[in-house]
A and B are shown apart, each in its own frame.
Chain A
C-alpha cells in the first residue's frame, strides 16, 4: 500500500497528452536536425546538435514510459462485473486475474477493458448455466514481452466442440482474423455469444491492421480459451513513400511483400481486370491513381505487391521515394468516410502525408 502511494502522483491527462504530442513534434524534427548536421563541418556546431539529438532521443524513450500504467487498474471493475453477473445468473464462480503488474499504454487499457468486460459477461451468461457445483472459474492472464501484449481468457464450463464448429463454418481453425463479418456473427451464434458482435468485428479489423491475432479454442464440457495478441508499438511504424500524380502517400511496410519494376512483368487483361503473373501467382493489378481519382500524366513505373489477410494485390504507383519511420495519427472526423486512407503522418519536411489503408483497400476490391 505504501509503495503504491509513493508511485502514484496526480497528472492532468490533458497536459500529459499535450506533452506527448510536443515530443512527437520533436521526434519529427529530429530527422531534419540530422540533415542539417551533415551540412556543418566545424566541430562546435556538430557538438551542440549531437547533444540536442541525444536529449531528444532520451525524452522520446522516457515519455514512452510515462504513458504506461499497470493493468491492475482495470482489475477492480472486471471483478465487480464478474460478481454481479454471478449473482444475476445465480452461480458460484471464481475470478482469477494474473499478470496485474504488466505495464501497457494508457489508451490500450480502456480498449482491453471493454473487450474483457464483454467477454466476461458472455462467459458468465452462457458458460456457467448448467454447472452449479461451485468449481467454475474464469482466469484472465495478461503478459507482455515488450512487443506484444497477450491476453488469455480461459474458463471451464460447457465450452463447445472445436472440430464440429470448424466443420460447420468450413474453416481449418478458429482464427477469427480470417473470418468475414458474417462468419463471425454465425460463429458467435453457435457459441451463444451475443453481447458484443459489432465490437468484435471492429476489434478484428483493428487487429488485422496491427498484425495481432484473435483465436478461440475449446473442448466441449471442459474449457474455453480466447487468446488475444495485440502488438504494442502501434502508432509508430515503418513506411514506404510512393508518389501518385503530384502527391506523396505512405504505405506501411508490414503489408508490403515485394516491390518489382513494372517492366519486369507483363500486364494482362481479362474480364476487364488487369493482372500480372508473379512467381506463378496470378495477382490482380490495381492502379492506385484510379482508385483515388488522382490525375497522373507520368507512366507508372513501380508495382508493390501487398498482402493482408491472405489476399494479395499488386498496386501500381508512379514511383518510389523513400523508406521512413512514421507516427500515424488518426484521421480527422471530416475524412471518416474515405476508407482508402488509414490516417496521416507528418514527415521531416513538415508536410502532411496520407497513409493508405491496405486491408480496407483489399476488402473493397
Chain B
C-alpha cells in the first residue's frame, strides 16, 4: 500500500494514496460565515466547489491557518474535501502489517517507517468530518 506523507508544523502525517484526487497549490479562498471551526473556506477546482479543512485543527488541535501552502483534494464517497497542509513530503511504500491501531480502534492508526512514527489519516477518521 502506498501512502502520501505531508507536513504540519514540522510533524509528519500520512494519508492512503487511493483517497487522493489531486494536489493543488495555495489559491484564493472564500471564507464561509457561520461554518464549523475546522472549515477554512471554499475553493473551486475543475468546476466543483470544495471545502477546505483545517487539518492541523483536526489532527493535533492546533491552529496554523497562515502557513498552509498546499491543498490535498481527497475523494470521500460522492463528495470531495481539501486538506490544508504546510507542505507535501513524499510517497512511501508500506506494508499493511506495519499499520498499528491505537486503542484497538481503527480511527487512530500509526505506521512505523525507518524508525519514524507517522500518524495515518484513515478513511473512517475522515468520514467523521
In the complex the two chains form, is B32's CB within 8 Å of A329's CB?
no
Would you call B10 an interface residue if the criterion is a C-beta within 8 Å of the partner chain's C-beta atoms?
no
In the complex the two chains form, is B34's CB within 8 Å of A352's CB?
no
In the complex the two chains form, is A335's CB within 8 Å of B32's CB?
yes
The residue on A at minimum CB distance from B34 is A338
In the complex the two chains form, is B34's CB within 8 Å of A292's CB?
yes
Q: Which residues of A contact B36 (CB under 8 A)?
A: 334
Would you call B115 an interface residue if the criterion is a C-beta within 8 Å of the partner chain's C-beta atoms?
no
Query: Which of B28, B30, B49 has the most chain A CB atoms inside 10 A of its CB?
Result: B49
In the complex the two chains form, is A353's CB within 8 Å of B30's CB?
yes
Among the stretches A76-84, A183-191, A343-351, the one at the interface with B is A343-351
Tell me the bound Cα distance from A325 to B129 in angstroms: 33
| Contact residues, B41-90 vs A (CB, 8 A) | 41-44, 46-51, 79, 81
In the complex the two chains form, is B51's CB within 8 Å of A335's CB?
yes
In the complex the two chains form, is B129's CB within 8 Å of A352's CB?
no
In the complex the two chains form, is A335's CB within 8 Å of B30's CB?
no
When A24-B47, A352-B42 are in contact, do A334 and B129 touch as well, CB less than 8 Å?
yes
When A335-B39, A352-B42 are in contact, do A21 and B32 touch as well, CB less than 8 Å?
no
Tell me the bound Cα distance from A332 to B42 in angstroms: 10
In the complex the two chains form, is A352's CB within 8 Å of B30's CB?
yes
Q: Which residues of A contact B33 (CB under 8 A)?
A: 247, 292-294, 338, 340, 354
Q: Which residues of A contact B48 (CB under 8 A)?
A: 21, 329
A345 shortest CB reach to chain B, Å: 8
Q: Which residues of A contact B96 (CB under 8 A)?
A: none
In the complex the two chains form, is A346's CB within 8 Å of B129's CB?
no
The residue on B at minimum CB distance from A332 is B51
Tell me the bound Cα distance from A239 to B30 in angstroms: 18
The residue on B at minimum CB distance from A349 is B28
Tell me the bound Cα distance from A247 to B42 in angstroms: 12
In the complex the two chains form, is A340's CB within 8 Å of B34's CB?
yes
**Chain B: interface size category:** 20 to 34
Query: Which of A21, A28, A333 has the most chain B CB atoms inside 10 A of its CB?
Result: A333
Q: Which residues of B contact A357 (CB under 8 A)?
A: none
B127 shortest CB reach to chain A, Å: 11
A340 shortest CB reach to chain B, Å: 7
Would you call A25 an interface residue if the criterion is a C-beta within 8 Å of the partner chain's C-beta atoms?
yes
The residue on A at minimum CB distance from B29 is A352
Tell me the bound Cα distance from A112 to B93 in angstroms: 50
In the complex the two chains form, is A247's CB within 8 Å of B47's CB?
no
B66 shortest CB reach to chain A, Å: 16
Q: Which of A21, A341, A351 contacts B47 (CB 8 A)?
A: A21
Would you call A108 an interface residue if the criterion is a C-beta within 8 Å of the partner chain's C-beta atoms?
no
A91 shortest CB reach to chain B, Å: 42
B117 shortest CB reach to chain A, Å: 30
B23 shortest CB reach to chain A, Å: 18
Interchain Cβ contacts under 8 Å between A and B, 21 examples:
A21-B48, A22-B47, A25-B47, A247-B30, A247-B33, A329-B48, A332-B42, A332-B49, A332-B51, A334-B35, A335-B51, A338-B32, A340-B33, A346-B49, A350-B28, A351-B28, A352-B30, A352-B41, A352-B42, A353-B30, A354-B33
Interface residue ranges, B against A (CB under 8 Å): 28, 30-36, 39, 41-44, 46-51, 79, 81, 129
For the complex of A and B, 10 pairs with smallest distance between CB atoms: A292-B33, A25-B47, A352-B30, A352-B42, A344-B49, A21-B47, A346-B44, A334-B51, A338-B34, A352-B44
Interface residue ranges, A against B (CB under 8 Å): 21-22, 24-25, 28, 247, 292-294, 329, 332-335, 338, 340-341, 344, 346, 350-354
